[in-house]
Structure 1
Amino acid sequence: MPDAPARTRRDAPSDAKPLSAPQRALRKLGLSRPIDLALHLPLRYEDETQLVRLADARDGDTVQVEGEVTHQEIAYRPRRQLLVSLNDGSDTCTLRFFNFYPSHQKQMAVGQRIRARGELRGGFAGLTMMHPTVRAAGGALPQALTPVYPTVAGLPQPYLRKAVLAGLAEADLSETLAPEVLDQMGDWPLWDLRRSLSFLHQPLPDAVLAELEDRSHPAWLRLKAEELLAQQLSQLQARRAREHLRAPVLRAAAGGLPEQLLAALPFQLTAAQRRVAEEIARDLAREQPMHRLLQGDVGSGKTVVAALAACVAIEAGWQCALMAPTEILAQQHFAKLVGWLAPLLAARGQRVAWLTGGQKKKERAEMLAAVASGEAALVVGTHAVIQEQVRFARLGLAVIDEQHRFGVQQRLDLRNKLSESEQEPHLLMMSATPIPRTLAMSYYADLDVSTIDELPPGRTPVVTRLVSGHRRAEVLERIRAQIAQGRQVYWVCPLIEESEALDLRNATETHAELSEAFPGQMIGLLHSRMPPAEKRAVMALFTSGAMPVLVSTTVIEVGVDVPNASLMVIEHAERFGLSQLHQLRGRVGRGAAASACVLLYSAPEGGRLGETARERLKAMAETADGFEIARRDLEIRGPGEFLGARQSGAALLRFADLQQDAPLLQWARRAAPQLLDHHPELARRHLDRWLGGREGYLRA
């Protein structure tokens, strides 16, 4: 992505000098305004306010010492390194550097007095420091802890510290919280913003580091409160703005398409499906654009609810678009929807269209024409649905599946397909990753949420087993037994090609291994780099039952529905996210046969699984409830990763923690309407400070 343009007090002259490397690095970090710099907080702190005598230091302490260099040499065993002996009058310490330059040797020449700060280690060779921070001795000691900031290549800490302090001095940090809003904070020891930021950038040596690290200090509380309030203000503005927008009024007549679809389905809807279908129908009948999230666990039946919503739109004379993140998922939706709706639409002279990036030119031109003419009442596809050349005759409803997998700009593009008519389509977003309540309160405050909280009858509980990688042979025997019973098996691998860094078995190697282990059986291979036609052919063979085992990467994570598949093996399960593991497990247990999910894990050579990996695997073994899985996933990963922060288009919460700071979130929800209604100018300044024009992304 190109760097964001600089925000300056006046336009830069045309003959402005090119940016230096550190200036470009600042832009890369998004630090273009004084307030951005002021809000760029330290990762940690170093205490350079005092000197410690070597004789008084303990093994493992991080200390700053001052003394004279008594010896310097370059050693070559076991590898090239610079060794410097430092004597502070009480003891001697060896400073060891594996990366060094002539300037370092000059700075630490014999006879020079220097200050060195680092972790002190004892041993047979005496006291040592590995790669300490070194500067010339003399001068007053700092009066505050030294901040260490998040940075990028080309942006050294000294430059960044000066830039942050300059930003802190120049930024407008005047009060934006009205007195009555502050009064509602109750007993929280809230500092003002300028005092809070000044303290966090330069805390005094007597500051309680534990309070800084766990973010419970009053200065941190102020920042978290302001950040949450900005987010709630943005969401409230979005909701209110949506109330002034207009969308097509979509109602179905009695005996129309929705009722015809229900009569044609080979199954009955659950009570939860009927409830959310009615919620969606009520929204579609209003002039305001629907902005609803339909969430439900894996296999809860969201697609048929979306089909009913599409029927309402089509019955009212409008089109519906359904967009999925992968071609395999879009293909699954297309196959289901064609089966349910094609006969009903054919009677009306309409059809279901298919749009994807891999289509042949002739087929694509035919589909584009059908969409533009309105003959295609329902359009299913990948991101190809929102490309510029796709022109809808009358788009009334947009459905986005696995919405967290899409970038915000893509969601905005789909909503803008009706911009010419000063209307926008109703928007239904679907997710099989249930959103924990605190997350919904925060990030989806401008969304209405419908939840399918029961599974259709006939879904078989899936037994989950954790199996160490050295028991691989037992897993192969389990697969042999499943094949003998006429069942089918998924084997999911995390990589396509070998990686020296990760040393994981790849899908190709596993495919060869299983082909050798089960001679005479058709073993399939599926990964994202295969041509679309080849993917479709493999999936067709597996879906038909002709292929008993499918080795795949995570392209089968969502949407694949093969009721005869009863065993899921996930290799290197410790490498997967919790919601991803839950999605994969949901590919089995869709038929009457007893089903199992084997989480095959491998600890590092001679080591143990990391804490996060252990927590994930433990959660998978203990519960199959998607909402409980989502709650634990939020605890483990935090909101940014949970929502797909890289695609958000704007920073997610940087300072607040939705679990720990739930009371602050409740305060922000109460304070936002007060500030917006009674102090609109304060609200505007607050939003500009925290979001800087990025609010549109938070409303997508």
Structure 2
Amino acid sequence: MLRMGLQRDIDLALHLPLRYEDETRLVPISTLRDGQTAQVEGEVVDNRVDQRQRRQLLVRLDDGSGEVLLRFLNFYGSQQKAWTKGVRLRVRGEVRHGFFGREMVHPTVKVVQEGTPLAASLTPVYPTTAGLPQSYLRKAVASALQRAPLHEVLPPGMVPRGWPTLREALHALHHPPASMSAEALEAPHHPAWQRLKFEELLAQQTSQLQARGERAHLKAPVLPTRPGGLQERLLAVLPFALTGAQRRVVEEIAQDLNRPMPMHRLLQGDVGSGKTVVAALAAAIAMEAGWQCALMAPTEILAEQHFRKLVGWLEPLGVKVAWLTGSLRSKVKQAQLAAVASGEAHLVVGTHAVIQEQVAFQRLGLALIDEQHRFGVAQRLELRRKLEAQDLEPHLLMMSATPIPRTLAMTYLADLDVSTIDELPPGRTPIVTRVFGDARRPEVIERIRDEVAKGSQVYWVCPLIDETEASDQAADEQAGRASQRRAPLDLSNVTQTHQELSEALAGHGVGLLHGRLPAAEKAEVMAKFSAGELSVLVATTVIEVGVDVPNASLMVIEHAERFGLSQLHQLRGRVGRGSVASVCVLLFSAPLSDQGKQRLKAMAETTDGFEIARRDLDIRGPGEFMGARQSGAALLRFADLMADQDLLDRAREAAETLLRDHPEAARQHIARWLGGKEEFLKA
């Protein structure tokens, strides 16, 4: 239960059923219909093990009105002995009409006496995990409901009239009366659900407002923008002019840095909108004031892209940039650590190695986190704890190329200030997206041959590395550990595709890049592709962010139906970075799921990151969209931000009143619902 986050009585009380089974009535066997799920009771008239095809236990049950065959493909010898002829069984399962008449395959079975009372309420079916049976979970929840502190915390008048108390709502959902239909209970506007959704949203909004209020009392270094300082000198040497949107967000960040409280800002902008240069200009303000900066990126490829750009811009201006990743050799790493600790390194760029215990900053004033949603909550909290070791709290700027819809920003990011770069730099060419079935693969390869003959470069992205990985994934799915059911895995893999394209494009360099390559080899392949020595780069999603090769004008994404919408958009953003018209080809394998069709349709219809984000929210829902900020345990389990907008508005207003006028009630309410998870919202 600990793996599911069920540690306290209140956690169990709030662990609500997925659905309900009606064990309050019996159905005559003679009335059973094909596809119906029903409960019947009768006497065993036959019990035998059938050895044909595969070994199985067959039990025939008669209730006087008719017979039903119970079929068990997996069974224990003790079950065969317990369900012998003459024993009375109560069973529940789905009916189907087989060769031998009505049958149920693997129904739930109870040995009963005649007259054994039926259940008085609908039977809840809870979300569970391997090794945690429903019977145990039901007992644990029922016991916790008796002990959990479910008294009313919220002040009178805050909860709308007509809604049940929290205790009444939970009892109604855990133990609904037999008279209540499962359909009515599962309806989103049931008063019990309304009460729980409101309380949950109120806890989340109150926690966010509280985090913002707490931050206002923290002290941070004041970092003013100095005339003629490093920021102005950097602007003067940049080989391009800033867009209006970039100038606007640079000013917003500069105003934050000039205040004595820590900046906590999210910089969001579409793929290629120029977030790196904004980060560099923010860092220039901090370094001019005598403070160090750290930039952390989720992958070594992305971190290295940042490092190369920042070195090119800043080192000619006298700024020393340190480089920290897990793959550095010991001697080099020690030299970099010493430069950071002494303050010789003004800016540190790297992966999660930046937050490791041995990294000590002399005077850290600004932390920059790129693709912040790609870091786990624990990693982001570790960075905050490292920052808090100083007397002053450093400023924090998080960056994301996945634009966040306004509703989500107001809900999940209420403790953040959000800056948006909503304008692409001039000269960026629009990307045309084409969707083809896998049968047209030879045509696509022919198009690649034409492109490389003209001197253009091409990406080909595959979802898997080799057959072993496919087998591992298939095994995970069979064990029920995959996040969702998928079709049998017959995906072409990156090594086979590399071989195929190398043969088809003889005379042109075809590179291979995936996550299992040694860091030095990855760097060498990327350097060759960037220099134009390779015409085609066959890669996994390690190229999703940070790779910038202006001469690449064609991208092929194989098995595009396997990728999420935001990931497809990120990958597509690797082309269209030069003056040549660019094309992204999405190859898919039929049949497509409804979600797969929606994703590919969205990609073909728009290149606008904010529209892509809106559609992604519609398709996936807010829980998956926010990803790591929820640490795998959704902070909103019941509320739906799209369907419950009115409840969200009401909760936002109530949160301000609760914090201002009833601080103790606010504390109790947050503790009840979040139980320490409020830290995840601050990360």
Range into which the TM-score falls when normalised by the shorter chain: over 0.9
How do 1:216-227 and structure 2 match up within 5 A? 216-227=189-200
Q: Which residue identity lines up with residue 117 of structure 1 in the other structure? A: R
Q: Which residue of 1 aligns with 2:548?
A: 561
With structure 1 as the length reference, what TM-score do the two structures score? 0.93
- 1:40 to 2:15 alignment: yes
- 1:436 to 2:405 alignment: yes
Q: Which residue of 2 aligns with 1:125?
A: 100
Q: Which residue identity lines up with residue 259 of structure 2 in the other structure? A: R
Deviation at 1:299, TM superposition (A): 0.6
Q: Which residue of 1 aligns with 2:614?
A: 631
- 1:78 to 2:78 alignment: no
Q: Which residue identity lines up with residue 220 of structure 1 in the other structure? A: W
Q: Which residue of 1 aligns with 2:534?
A: 547
Q: Which residue of 1 aligns with 2:486?
A: none
CA 1:388/1:520 → structure 2, altered by over 3 Å: closer, same or farther?
Answer: same
- 1:61 to 2:36 alignment: yes
Deviation at 1:647, TM superposition (A): 6.6
Q: Structure 1 stretch 444-453 or stretch 624-633: which is displaced more?
A: 624-633
Deviation at 1:649, TM superposition (A): 7.1
Q: Which residue of 1 aligns with 2:170?
A: 197
- The answer to whether the 8 Å contact 1:406/1:647 transfers is no
- The answer to whether the 8 Å contact 2:298/2:352 transfers is yes
Q: Which residue of 2 aligns with 1:521?
A: 508
> 1-side partners of 2:362 and 2:302: how far apart?
25
Q: Which residue of 1 aligns with 2:650?
A: 667
Deviation at 1:158, TM superposition (A): 1.1
Q: Which residue of 1 aligns with 2:521?
A: 534
CA 1:210/1:620 → structure 2, altered by over 3 Å: closer, same or farther?
Answer: farther
> 2-side partners of 1:582 and 1:490: how far apart?
14
Q: Which residue identity lines up with residue 641 of structure 1 in the other structure? A: E
> 2-side partners of 1:266 and 1:646: how far apart?
36
Q: Which residue identity lines up with residue 569 of structure 2 in the other structure? A: H
How do 1:621-700 and structure 2 match up within 5 A? 621-645=604-628, 648=631, 651-700=634-683
CA 1:163/1:230 → structure 2, altered by over 3 Å: closer, same or farther?
Answer: same
How do 1:283-298 and structure 2 match up within 5 A? 283-298=256-271
How do 1:496-507 and structure 2 match up within 5 A? 496-498=465-467, 499-500=470-471, 501=474, 502-507=489-494
Q: Which residue of 2 aligns with 1:484?
A: 453
- 1:151 to 2:134 alignment: no
Q: Which residue of 1 aligns with 2:602?
A: 619
Superposed CA deviations along residues 130-172 of structure 1, whole A, max 9, x for unmatched, are: 1111112341111111011111222211111011001001101
Gaps of 5+ in 2: 475-488
Deviation at 1:309, TM superposition (A): 0.2
> 2-side partners of 1:76 and 1:614: how far apart?
44
CA 1:692/1:114 → structure 2, altered by over 3 Å: closer, same or farther?
Answer: same
> 2-side partners of 1:534 and 1:156: how far apart?
48
Superposed CA deviations along residues 212-260 of structure 1, whole A, max 9, x for unmatched, are: 3343211111111111111111111110110000111001211111111
- 1:179 to 2:156 alignment: yes
SS of the equivalent of 1:591 reads coil
Q: Which residue of 1 aligns with 2:321?
A: 352
Q: Which residue identity lines up with residue 85 of structure 2 in the other structure? A: V
- The answer to whether the 8 Å contact 2:375/2:628 transfers is no
Deviation at 1:69, TM superposition (A): 1.1
> 2-side partners of 1:42 and 1:418: how far apart?
41
Gaps of 5+ in 1: 1-25
Q: Which residue of 1 aligns with 2:481?
A: none
- The answer to whether the 8 Å contact 2:629/2:680 transfers is no
Q: Which residue of 2 aligns with 1:108?
A: 83
Deviation at 1:71, TM superposition (A): 1.1
- The answer to whether the 8 Å contact 1:650/1:694 transfers is no
> 2-side partners of 1:77 and 1:615: how far apart?
45
Q: Which residue of 1 aligns with 2:244?
A: 271
- The answer to whether the 8 Å contact 2:366/2:396 transfers is yes
Q: Which residue identity lines up with residue 80 of structure 1 in the other structure? A: R
Q: Structure 1 stretch 413-422 or stretch 663-672: which is displaced more?
A: 413-422
How do 1:333-412 and structure 2 match up within 5 A? 333-344=306-317, 346=318, 350-412=319-381
> 1-side partners of 2:497 and 2:184: how far apart?
49
Q: Which residue of 2 aligns with 1:457?
A: 426
CA 1:539/1:99 → structure 2, altered by over 3 Å: closer, same or farther?
Answer: same
> 2-side partners of 1:594 and 1:27: how far apart?
53
- The answer to whether the 8 Å contact 2:373/2:629 transfers is no
Aligned positions, number: 663
> 2-side partners of 1:69 and 1:208: how far apart?
31
CA 1:418/1:157 → structure 2, altered by over 3 Å: closer, same or farther?
Answer: closer
> 2-side partners of 1:287 and 1:180: how far apart?
39
Q: Which residue of 2 aligns with 1:318?
A: 291
SS of the equivalent of 1:644 reads helix
Q: Structure 1 stretch 442-451 or stretch 113-122: which is displaced more?
A: 113-122
Q: Which residue of 2 aligns with 1:94?
A: 69
- The answer to whether the 8 Å contact 1:407/1:649 transfers is no
> 2-side partners of 1:584 and 1:247: how far apart?
37
Deviation at 1:425, TM superposition (A): 0.8
Deviation at 1:207, TM superposition (A): 2.3
Q: Structure 1 stretch 55-64 or stretch 449-458: which is displaced more?
A: 55-64
Deviation at 1:128, TM superposition (A): 1.0
Deviation at 1:650, TM superposition (A): 5.4
SS of the equivalent of 1:376 reads coil
- The answer to whether the 8 Å contact 2:437/2:589 transfers is yes
> 2-side partners of 1:645 and 1:133: how far apart?
38
SS of the equivalent of 2:433 reads strand
CA 1:457/1:368 → structure 2, altered by over 3 Å: closer, same or farther?
Answer: same
With structure 2 as the length reference, what TM-score do the two structures score? 0.95
Q: Which residue identity lines up with residue 121 of structure 2 in the other structure? A: A
- The answer to whether the 8 Å contact 1:650/1:697 transfers is no
Deviation at 1:639, TM superposition (A): 2.2
> 2-side partners of 1:634 and 1:238: how far apart?
25
- The answer to whether the 8 Å contact 1:273/1:301 transfers is yes
Q: Which residue identity lines up with residue 262 of structure 2 in the other structure? A: P
Q: Structure 1 stretch 236-245 or stretch 28-37: which is displaced more?
A: 28-37
> 2-side partners of 1:85 and 1:412: how far apart?
59
> 2-side partners of 1:104 and 1:248: how far apart?
71
Q: Which residue identity lines up with residue 288 of structure 1 in the other structure? A: M
> 2-side partners of 1:402 and 1:211: how far apart?
42
